[in-house]
């Protein structure tokens, strides 16, 4: 609800009408290119612990761009290998399935999430930084908790804020109303998105994930990354992505407007048998993994 001034001292309350309709959102999402088949297939294979190097090679070699990036990564100064790695098979054996899959997904996220989302207070590259830090945090939490598949959670956390890419232009256009709503209601930025625009970036992100044909568990992680207790399924996975987002924000990775009015759900800690102290103790590992990932991507981009 917002107030309209009629005359000095006289006001009337107006209902807030969301500015967006579902069909507008669907139209915008349909303009997003589909996730490349190779990335989807790699993701699917990575969920199966029985996947062999041969199976991964058969898929990756279909994409020249990814093949080139993987070989360039192995031959970068970072690894300092005495002999050049010239085949995908050797590259995979050297990197290991997990590193390779995460590298492919992170490189893909660079392409998708590089744009500035100034409506959310994020400069160019900041959404990617936030996604990668959250992905690595999810991996660290999953390793500790040993309840869910780290690779799957890496992807869910990497893409959890992808809805911001779609909503950004509308958030920019309605910035004044959204900020006024946050001030007046003392609510989160997310609640203000819902009140003013009619949709949150979490809801829109889940639509994007469905558009990309990602598995339902990832759609759920994205949809409920701010309200993990409201999910009906995949409770551990959703709680992990929520905590990963929290850890990334607490450590300064892509704070923006989300971080300034962030609502943390302590129930996620209880669900996974963790404590605030344990979560905080993960910060050094997160910084270390983030710096390594950022180095590898940069090396690969400019080598």
Orientation of helix 22-30 relative to helix 201-211, angle to 10°? 50
The window from 65-73, 96-104, 154-162, 211-219 that contacts Fe ion (CB under 5 A) reads 154-162
Subset of residues 155 to 184 that bind Fe ion, contact rule: CB under 5 A: 161
Q: CA-to-CA distance for 193 and 191, rounded, in angstroms?
A: 5
CB of 269 to Fe ion, least distance (A): 17
Binding mask 187-226 for Fe ion (x = CB under 5 A): ----------------------------------------
245 binds Fe ion (CB under 5 A): yes
CB of 16 to Fe ion, least distance (A): 21
Alpha carbon separation from 199 to 74, 88, 204 (Å, rounded): 42, 43, 7
- CB of 2 closer than 8 Å to CB of 185: no
Q: CA-to-CA distance for 288 and 277, rounded, in angstroms?
A: 19
Q: CA-to-CA distance for 123 and 235, rounded, in angstroms?
A: 32
Alpha carbon separation from 269 to 38, 169, 228, 245 (Å, rounded): 35, 34, 11, 13
Instruction: Looking at 47-87, list the stretches that DSSP marks H as alpha helix, in order from N- to C-terminal side.
Output: 53-60, 64-74
The window from 76-84, 121-129, 191-199, 243-251 that contacts Fe ion (CB under 5 A) reads 243-251
Nearest to 259 by CA among 250, 269, 272: 250
Q: Which is nearer to Fe ion, 161 or 203 (CB)?
A: 161
How many chain residues bind Fe ion (CB under 5 A)? 2
Q: Which is nearer to Fe ion, 69 or 242 (CB)?
A: 242
Contacts of 139 (CB under 8 A, 6+ apart): 102, 150, 153, 154, 289
CB of 267 to Fe ion, least distance (A): 18
The window from 13-21, 71-79, 244-252, 288-296 that contacts Fe ion (CB under 5 A) reads 244-252
Residue whose entry in the numeric block shows the structure tokens 């761009």: 65
CB of 9 to Fe ion, least distance (A): 40
Binding mask 112-151 for Fe ion (x = CB under 5 A): ----------------------------------------
Q: Which is nearer to Fe ion, 88 or 122 (CB)?
A: 122
Positions in the binding site for Fe ion (CB under 5 A): 161, 245
């Amino acid at each position: 609800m917002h107030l309209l001034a009629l005359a000095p001292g006289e006001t009337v309350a107006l209902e807030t009408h969301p500015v967006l309709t579902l069909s507008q959102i669907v139209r915008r999402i349909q303009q997003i290119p589909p996730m490349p088949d190779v990335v989807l297939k790699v993701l699917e294979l990575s969920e199966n612990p029985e996947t062999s190097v041969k199976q991964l090679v058969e898929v990756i070699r279909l994409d020249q761009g990814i093949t080139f990036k993987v070989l360039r990564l192995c031959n970068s100064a970072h690894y300092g290998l005495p002999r050049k790695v010239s085949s995908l098979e050797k590259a995979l054996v050297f990197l290991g399935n997990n590193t390779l899959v995460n590298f492919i997904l992170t490189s893909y996220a660079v392409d998708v999430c590089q744009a500035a989302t100034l409506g959310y207070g994020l400069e160019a590259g900041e959404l990617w930084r936030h996604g990668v830090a959250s992905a690595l945090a999810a991996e660290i939490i999953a390793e500790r908790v040993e309840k869910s598949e780290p690779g799957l959670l890496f992807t869910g956390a990497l893409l959890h804020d992808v809805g911001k890419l779609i909503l950004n232009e509308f958030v920019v256009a309605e910035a004044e109303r959204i900020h006024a709503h946050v001030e007046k209601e003392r609510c989160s930025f997310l609640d203000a998105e819902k009140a003013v625009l009619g949709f949150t970036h979490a809801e829109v992100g889940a639509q994007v994930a469905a558009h990309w044909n990602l598995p339902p568990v990832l759609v759920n992680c994205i949809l409920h990354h701010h309200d993990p207790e409201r999910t009906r399924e995949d409770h551990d996975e959703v709680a992990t992505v929520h905590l990963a987002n929290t850890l990334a924000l607490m450590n300064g990775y892509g704070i923006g407007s989300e971080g300034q009015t962030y609502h943390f759900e302590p129930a996620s800690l209880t669900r996974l048998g963790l404590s605030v102290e344990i979560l905080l103790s993960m910060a050094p590992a997160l910084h270390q993994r983030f710096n390594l990932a950022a180095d590898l991507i940069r090396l690969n981009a400019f080598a």
